[in-house]
Chain A
Amino acid sequence: MECRVCSDSLSAYLDGEVGVRERDRLALHLEHCDACRQEYESLLYAVELTDSLGHGPLHAPPFSRIEGRISVPSSFWSFRWLFSPAWAAMAAGLLLLVSIPLVWNANDEEARLERQFAQFVEARDRQEALHHAIIQTEPVGWVTYNPFRFERTSLRRNPFSE
């Protein structure tokens, strides 16, 4: 066995995590290799020393204590403040305030346009009624109007006549 392989497996050997064959090969190597045996002994000593220290009681929940000591650098440009509920509420309120007049104006504009169109239709209806009255009174009927002769009936004159 090579010393490098032995060195890599020493920790597992100490913890009893190697197979039977591997354990025998390591034991055989450690018997004959002074350097590896020295490394093994120093490792064994460290383990024994750690075990002898024992575990003291934990005084506070460790995670909360650690968490409390972690400080996140606050930066305006990280925009984290935007996600706070207060800011979200404020932004929603502002948006509502801005959008109300816009919606109001759009509705107003639409209503104004509808009124204007209704007036246009009304005027056209009156015009139609007037035309109808002319047709009724003319003995020859408006179809036979000669635009050259009946200038007063220009509303109905043939546009191509001169």
Chain B
Amino acid sequence: MTLLALVLGIFTVWAHAQDEWEATRSMAESQHEIVIMLIEKGEFDKAVEEARKIFYLPFPDGKDELLVTAARQVADALGHHDKHDLAGHVLDEALLVVTLPKQQAALYKEKGYHLKKLGKTDEAMACYRKALELEQKKK
């Protein structure tokens, strides 16, 4: 009986966590679509504002990789419109919430790329160097 209660308890907690994650994921999905559409419409500043909201959603541990992908995609989309400076802002926002060195390295590399496109070669190199350092740390 006790074992059954324990199993039920664990299942309830797991189901609750799944529900929470599903709600967060769904919000992030919609928000991401909004951001991309705003970029396509040419409302870049607004898009950056909306992108920021994604980064502060209550993501559970282990899901940060999605944030990195989202940040890179938004930065890419901004880059397509030659908005490399705003792309850098989005990546900076993502860097504030992402904690794993591997993910930070990916973001720094992207930031370096966009800085290079802006002609800020020294800053771009600094970002790239930082990314390599973080990758070393990861190893």
- Inter-chain CA distance A160–B69, complex, in Å, is 9
Chain B residues with CB under 8 A of A124: 113
Residue contact B125 to A117, C-beta cutoff 8 Å: yes
B116 CB within 8 Å of chain A: yes
Q: How many residues of A contact B (CB 8 A)?
A: 18
Residue contact B125 to A143, C-beta cutoff 8 Å: no
Chain A residues with CB under 8 A of B80: 128, 131-132
Contact of A117 with B25 at beta-carbon distance under 8 Å, contacts A158-B32, A159-B66, A160-B32 already known: no
Contact of A121 with B116 at beta-carbon distance under 8 Å, contacts A131-B76, A160-B28 already known: yes
Chain B residues with CB under 8 A of A160: 25-26, 28-29, 32, 66, 70
Residue contact B37 to A143, C-beta cutoff 8 Å: yes
A114 CB within 8 Å of chain B: yes
Looking at chain B's contact residues, the main secondary structure is helix
Chain B residues with CB under 8 A of A120: 109, 112-113, 128
Taking CB atoms and an 8 Å cut-off, the chain B residues in 10-49 that contact chain A are 25-26, 28-29, 32-33, 36-37, 40
Looking at chain A's contact residues, the main secondary structure is helix
Chain B residues with CB under 8 A of A158: 29, 32-33, 36, 73
Q: How many residues of B contact A (CB 8 A)?
A: 26
Min CB distance, B123 to chain A, in Å?
12
Which of the residues A117, A141, A159, A162 comes within 8 Å of B73, measured between beta carbons? A159
Chain B residues with CB under 8 A of A44: none
A47 CB within 8 Å of chain B: no
Chain A residues with CB under 8 A of B101: none
Question: What residue of chain A has the Cβ atom nearest to residue B31's Cβ?
Answer: A160
Question: What residue of chain B has the Cβ atom nearest to residue A135's Cβ?
Answer: B80
Question: What residue of chain A has the Cβ atom nearest to residue B69's Cβ?
Answer: A159
Chain B residues with CB under 8 A of A14: none
B52 CB within 8 Å of chain A: no
Residue contact B69 to A117, C-beta cutoff 8 Å: no
Residue contact B76 to A117, C-beta cutoff 8 Å: no
B124 CB within 8 Å of chain A: yes
Residue contact A128 to B69, C-beta cutoff 8 Å: no
Question: What residue of chain A has the Cβ atom nearest to residue B71's Cβ?
Answer: A159
Min CB distance, B89 to chain A, in Å?
19
Residue contact B37 to A114, C-beta cutoff 8 Å: no
Which B residues contact A (CB, under 8 angstroms)? 25-26, 28-29, 32-33, 36-37, 40, 66-67, 69-70, 73, 76, 79-80, 109, 112-113, 116, 124-125, 128-129, 132
Q: What are the 8 closest A-B residue pairs judged by CB atoms, nearest first?
A: A159-B69, A160-B29, A160-B28, A159-B66, A117-B128, A159-B70, A124-B113, A143-B40
